Amino acid sequence: MILKRLFTKTAPLYLLTGTHTGLTHTQITRQALSAGIKVIQLREKRMSKKDIYKMALAMRALTTEHKAALIINDHIDIALAVNADGVHLGQEDMPLIEARRIMGGKKIIGISTHTLAQAQKAEDEGADYIGFGPVFHTGTKDAGRPRGLKALQKVREQISIPIVAIGGITSGNIREVLMSGADAAAIVSGILKGDIRRNTKDYLSALE
């Protein structure tokens, strides 16, 4: 499975794009790929679907060139239209079983989870990976109370599919997150605020 191949000990970063930095999704993608990131999720809540589609096309071209994976947040139709590697769904989005029927067996489907029960359900229904968190406090979005590393460890003990931990993960705690069972760490502001290349290298250096 493509995510298992991409989430290695030397590059376990999963970048979620955002335009709050003043850069476009395409600019972010270009810089992140040049720094070594191999999995990027297009997450955009404010643009029209037409504009998201155009952005996804540009990002697909860049990720293909760098042999990286592109995941589209929420929009199954856009993911299919641009031939993205997969889609990421939240708890309030289309049920996973229906999403799989539409996406087919070769596309990645990830699910956001916040509890062990949600994680187990996602695996049982055929998710390729789960997002779990927030592990720590995060100001990026209102994601509820931090679950902590012990909760992450319990989820790891109970499910076998890849876990992408999210929420407040910094270069100072990423090693601990991965040691607690995560296969990768989803990062937003930690990489996007400031110099994307330098921030990425700081995360990767912390794992050496």
Instruction: State the SS3 of the chain.
Output: CHHHHHCCCCCCEEEECCCCCCCCHHHHHHHHHHHCCCEEEECCCCCCHHHHHHHHHHHHHHHHHCCCEEEEECCHHHHHHCCCCEEEECCCCCCHHHHHHHHCCCCEEEEEECCHHHHHHHHHCCCCEEEECCCCCCCCCCCCCCCHHHHHHHHHHHCCCCEEEECCCCCCCHHHHHHCCCCEEEECHHHHCCCHHHHHHHHHHCCC
pTM here?
0.93
Is residue 13's pLDDT more than 60? yes
**Which one of 38, 107, 112, 147 is the catalytic residue?**
112
Note the pLDDT tens digit of each residue in 27-57: 999 999 999 999 999 999 888 999 999 999 9
**Which one of 100, 141, 197, 201 is the catalytic residue?**
141
pLDDT value of residue 3: 65
pLDDT value of residue 161: 94
Confidence at 171, pLDDT banded by 50, 70, 90: very high
Mean pLDDT calculated for residue range 87-96: 94
Q: What is the mean pLDDT of the chain?
A: 91
Higher pLDDT among residues 45 and 72, named by residue: 72
pLDDT value of residue 21: 73
Is 201 among the residues known to form the active site?
no
Domain chopping of the chain, boundaries: 12-205
Higher pLDDT among residues 43 and 21, named by residue: 43
Mean pLDDT calculated for residue range 89-107: 94
Q: Give me the CATH code for the 12-205 domain, please.
A: 3.20.20.70
**Which one of 43, 60, 107, 147 is the catalytic residue?**
43
pLDDT value of residue 140: 61
Is 141 among the residues known to form the active site?
yes
Q: What percent of the chain has pLDDT over 70?
A: 91
